Amino acid sequence: MRQNCFKIDSLNEHDDDWLTVWAWLNDCSKSAQGASVISFGIRERKPEIERMLEYMAKKRGMTADDLFKSILDGTADNSGDEPSSEE
Protein backbone atom coordinates (compact mmCIF):
# COMPACT_ATOMS: atom_id res chain seq x y z
CA MET A 1 0.00 0.00 0.00
CA ARG A 2 1.29 3.43 -0.97
CA GLN A 3 1.78 5.85 1.91
CA ASN A 4 1.47 9.51 0.92
CA CYS A 5 1.37 12.24 3.52
CA PHE A 6 0.00 15.66 2.78
CA LYS A 7 -0.82 18.72 4.83
CA ILE A 8 -4.33 20.08 5.06
CA ASP A 9 -5.36 23.54 6.13
CA SER A 10 -6.38 24.07 9.73
CA LEU A 11 -9.93 23.23 10.66
CA ASN A 12 -12.15 25.85 12.18
CA GLU A 13 -12.40 25.72 15.97
CA HIS A 14 -15.75 23.92 16.00
CA ASP A 15 -14.68 21.16 13.59
CA ASP A 16 -11.31 20.74 15.30
CA ASP A 17 -13.02 20.29 18.67
CA TRP A 18 -15.40 17.68 17.28
CA LEU A 19 -12.59 15.84 15.47
CA THR A 20 -10.67 15.74 18.75
CA VAL A 21 -13.70 14.29 20.56
CA TRP A 22 -14.41 11.79 17.77
CA ALA A 23 -10.79 10.62 17.75
CA TRP A 24 -10.84 10.23 21.52
CA LEU A 25 -14.06 8.20 21.37
CA ASN A 26 -12.45 5.92 18.75
CA ASP A 27 -9.20 5.71 20.74
CA CYS A 28 -7.10 7.02 17.87
CA SER A 29 -5.17 10.13 16.91
CA LYS A 30 -6.78 13.10 15.19
CA SER A 31 -4.63 12.31 12.17
CA ALA A 32 -5.94 8.74 11.99
CA GLN A 33 -9.54 9.92 12.48
CA GLY A 34 -9.09 12.56 9.77
CA ALA A 35 -7.68 9.96 7.36
CA SER A 36 -10.68 7.75 8.07
CA VAL A 37 -13.09 10.62 7.37
CA ILE A 38 -11.34 11.44 4.08
CA SER A 39 -11.34 7.78 2.99
CA PHE A 40 -15.05 7.48 3.76
CA GLY A 41 -15.80 10.70 1.86
CA ILE A 42 -13.92 9.50 -1.21
CA ARG A 43 -15.77 6.17 -1.22
CA GLU A 44 -19.08 7.95 -0.71
CA ARG A 45 -18.44 10.35 -3.61
CA LYS A 46 -16.65 7.93 -5.94
CA PRO A 47 -19.54 7.73 -8.45
CA GLU A 48 -19.59 11.53 -8.73
CA ILE A 49 -15.78 11.65 -9.06
CA GLU A 50 -15.94 8.99 -11.79
CA ARG A 51 -18.59 11.02 -13.69
CA MET A 52 -16.39 14.12 -13.47
CA LEU A 53 -13.35 12.13 -14.66
CA GLU A 54 -15.33 10.71 -17.60
CA TYR A 55 -16.57 14.20 -18.53
CA MET A 56 -13.08 15.74 -18.41
CA ALA A 57 -11.56 12.82 -20.33
CA LYS A 58 -14.19 13.06 -23.05
CA LYS A 59 -13.58 16.79 -23.31
CA ARG A 60 -9.88 16.06 -23.89
CA GLY A 61 -10.53 13.27 -26.41
CA MET A 62 -9.19 10.49 -24.23
CA THR A 63 -10.48 7.64 -22.10
CA ALA A 64 -11.17 8.03 -18.42
CA ASP A 65 -8.54 5.34 -17.74
CA ASP A 66 -5.89 7.28 -19.65
CA LEU A 67 -6.77 10.53 -17.86
CA PHE A 68 -6.73 8.72 -14.50
CA LYS A 69 -3.23 7.39 -15.21
CA SER A 70 -1.94 10.76 -16.41
CA ILE A 71 -3.32 12.50 -13.31
CA LEU A 72 -1.56 9.99 -11.07
CA ASP A 73 1.77 10.26 -12.91
CA GLY A 74 1.58 14.07 -12.99
CA THR A 75 1.33 14.51 -16.75
CA ALA A 76 -2.35 15.49 -17.03
CA ASP A 77 -3.07 18.80 -18.74
CA ASN A 78 -5.05 20.94 -16.35
CA SER A 79 -5.53 24.01 -18.46
CA GLY A 80 -7.77 25.67 -15.90
CA ASP A 81 -10.92 23.81 -16.89
CA GLU A 82 -13.15 23.42 -13.89
CA PRO A 83 -15.76 20.66 -14.16
CA SER A 84 -19.11 21.87 -13.01
CA SER A 85 -21.73 19.84 -11.22
CA GLU A 86 -24.13 20.80 -14.01
CA GLU A 87 -23.19 18.42 -16.79
Whole-angstrom distance, CA of residue 61 vs CA of residue 28: 45
Q: What are residue 39's phi and psi, to 5 degrees?
A: -60, -45
Contact residues for 57 (Cβ-Cβ < 8 A; gap 6+): 63, 64, 66, 67
pLDDT digits (tens, 9 = 90+) for 6-36: 888 999 999 999 999 999 999 999 999 999 9
pLDDT reported for residue 44: 98
Q: What is the mean pLDDT of residues 45-58?
A: 98
Q: Which residue has the higher pLDDT, 84 or 60?
A: 60
